[in-house]
Amino acid sequence: MSDRILVGTRKGTFIVEKSGGRWRPALAGHAGTGVNFVARDPGTGDLWALLGHGHWGAKVSRSRDQGKTWEDAAQVKYPDNARYIGMDFDDQGNPKEGAVRPATLLLLWVIGFGPSGRVYVGTIPGGLFASKDGGDSFELNRPLWNHESRGGDLFAGEPTSKNHWFGTPASTGEFAPGIHSIVVDPRNPDRVLVAISTAGVLETTDGGQSWRGANKGLLNDYLPNPAAEWGHDTHYMEICRGQPEHIWQQNHAGVFYSADSAATWKRVSAPDQGVHFGFPVAVDQEDGRTAWVVPGKSDQQRMAIDGALFVARTSDGGESWQPLREGLPQEGAHDVVLRHSLGNSGDLLAFGSTTGNLYVSENRGDSWRCVGNNLPPIYSVRFG
Amino acid sequence: MAKVELTRHLYAFFPHLEGREIVVEASTLREVVSEVEKIAPGFSFYVCDERGRLRTHVNMFIGDERAQDRTNLSDPVGPESRVFIMQALSGG
């Protein structure tokens, strides 16, 4: 457990620590640069930040002294001849499916850690990069990149299957898919799940040599067949470390919960309580039936419901939800909380919004305290 | 030897280049980038993507002329050329 909060923002990395009874955010690096994700590798203690320089591209940054100094790490690069099926637009601006295009790194989105120096980075346009040496080098996971759900091995030639991966608005310039969730099974590091906007969940149990879809029970109400194998818009997915058969996801089409290691999913939203749409989800590290979400007003608005910000908690696997509003603004609030911007550690929770507001709870969400109103737009909140 | 001048933004990432006169033996812009990479490892991935293309919001000039070949950086560079590497004005 950690009581230090790492915050990635549109304008730099912040570290929030409690001193003299107050949580105090302090700029800890990358001033002026977009920071999509900041996290600590529990194995090495290194801090990692995924940067998005507006002009100079996406860069991986590492600190080996707890955020005092940062340096460029080994960079994530797509290998020569890596290609993917993207979406092109004709002269009239109409989308045109099926263009095979060379892959270059558009966005570093999430970093995940396994034991023995395993580090994973999820990117747009949909590549998972893996390191076995603590992040000193990264390599594209080709079995996932070449998966039949996205056209097969395009290194070898033309598509051999249909592409089922769509794009995400989070990609810049191109409408490409992205990996935003990486879950390493604490019981078995060869078992890794990733979630993609927009495709769904894929799972490996052999250390990344082969992958299969894990979307049974997901429903995407926006598809002609909501129960289709692919096309699911997981917004974020998280596992319970103490009870890893319990996995949660906040999806575009509701909150989904699996109690059987993602073999099947069940929609557990409560739309009448406002618990349905949103981006992040946090899972208790001991009790897999306890989770938190930050609901938003429908996918059409994507902001706090009726100007009132709240967190919803379940402790029974989504059978019931409790709104948690104490200490949060209940009028005039129009915040949206992005997928990586809710974190937890023991009884501590923290979340941040694109409006630059950061809230902390020390009692599992029962009450909240604002610890910053004037931060840049917040992209990630993690304890570590 | 071509003289290379950088936007101040790049000195933030490569502080050891600041205040230093950068002169390189190069006949094309591609060779300019490769030569600067030798004294500032990682530099080329700031200016170009994995395919070697000039990044969308980066410009290179030879004298007063903006680079024409943003894909292969084949624009010729002479021994007396001044090469400028700068960011486009964009963002907020």
What was the pLDDT predicted at B91? Answer: 53
What was the pLDDT predicted at A378? Answer: 98
What does the alpha-carbon distance between residue A312 and residue A305 come to, in Å, rounded to a whole number?
12
Determine, yes or no, domain membership for B43: yes
What does the alpha-carbon distance between residue B60 and residue A103 come to, in Å, rounded to a whole number?
23
Portion of chain A with pLDDT greater than 70, in percent: 99
pLDDT band for position A207 (50/70/90)? very high
Residues 148-207 of A with CB under 8 A from B: 173
Using the beta-carbon criterion (under 8 Å), do B13 and A104 form an inter-chain contact? no
pLDDT averaged over every residue in chain A: 95
Q: What pLDDT digit, counting tens, does each position of A38-83 carry? A: 999 999 999 999 999 989 999 999 999 999 999 999 999 999 999 9
Using the beta-carbon criterion (under 8 Å), do A105 and B57 form an inter-chain contact? no
Low-confidence winner among A171-175, A255-259, A281-285, B6-10 (lowest mean pLDDT):
A171-175
A79: chain B residues, CB-CB within 8 Å: 50
Q: What pLDDT digit, counting tens, does each position of B23-82 carry? A: 999 999 999 999 999 999 999 999 999 999 999 999 999 999 999 999 999 999 999 999
Q: What pLDDT digit, counting tens, does each position of A9-33 carry? A: 999 999 999 999 999 999 999 999 9
Tokens read off for A270? 């409560």
Q: What pLDDT digit, counting tens, does each position of A348-358 carry? A: 999 999 999 99
Q: What is the CATH number of the domain that holds B62?
A: 3.10.20.30
**Å from B42 to nearest chain A CA?**
9
Determine, yes or no, domain membership for B76: yes
Using the beta-carbon criterion (under 8 Å), do A75 and B42 form an inter-chain contact? yes
Determine, yes or no, domain membership for B32: yes
Residues 45-74 of B with CB under 8 A from A: 45-47, 49-51, 53, 55-58
What was the pLDDT predicted at B89? Answer: 65
Determine, yes or no, domain membership for B31: yes
Residue B90: pLDDT over 60: no
Determine, yes or no, domain membership for B7: yes
Using the beta-carbon criterion (under 8 Å), do A57 and B13 form an inter-chain contact? no
Using the beta-carbon criterion (under 8 Å), do B47 and A56 form an inter-chain contact? yes
What was the pLDDT predicted at A85? Answer: 92
Closest in B53, B55, B90 to A56, CB measured? B55
Angle at CA of residue A67, ends B58 and A242, nearest 5°: 110
Residue B92: pLDDT over 70: no
Residue A95: pLDDT over 70: no
Mean pLDDT of A204-219: 98
Mean pLDDT of A281-290: 98
Q: Which residues pair with A117 in a beta bridge?
A: none
Count up the domains in chain B and report the number: 1
Closest in B50, B58, B88 to A105, CB measured? B50
CB A23 within 8 A of CB A17: yes
Determine, yes or no, domain membership for B92: no
Using CA coordinates, name the residue in chain B closest to A55: B57
DSSP state of A284: -
Instruction: Print burial letters for A282-294: b (CB count within 10 Å at least 16), e (below 16).
Output: bbbbeebbbbbbb
pTM of the model: 0.95
Tokens read off for A379? 């992209």
Mean pLDDT of B8-14: 93
Determine, yes or no, domain membership for B73: yes
Residue A242: pLDDT over 80: yes
What does the alpha-carbon distance between residue B50 and residue A138 come to, in Å, rounded to a whole number?
14
Residue A241: pLDDT over 70: yes
**Å from B81 to nearest chain A CA?**
24
pLDDT band for position A92 (50/70/90)? confident
Domain that holds residue B50: 2-87
CB A357 within 8 A of CB A12: no
Using the beta-carbon criterion (under 8 Å), do B50 and A173 form an inter-chain contact? no
Chain A CB within 8 Å of residue B25 CB? no
Tokens read off for A24? 């105090």
Portion of chain A with pLDDT greater than 90, in percent: 88
Using the beta-carbon criterion (under 8 Å), do B58 and A56 form an inter-chain contact? yes
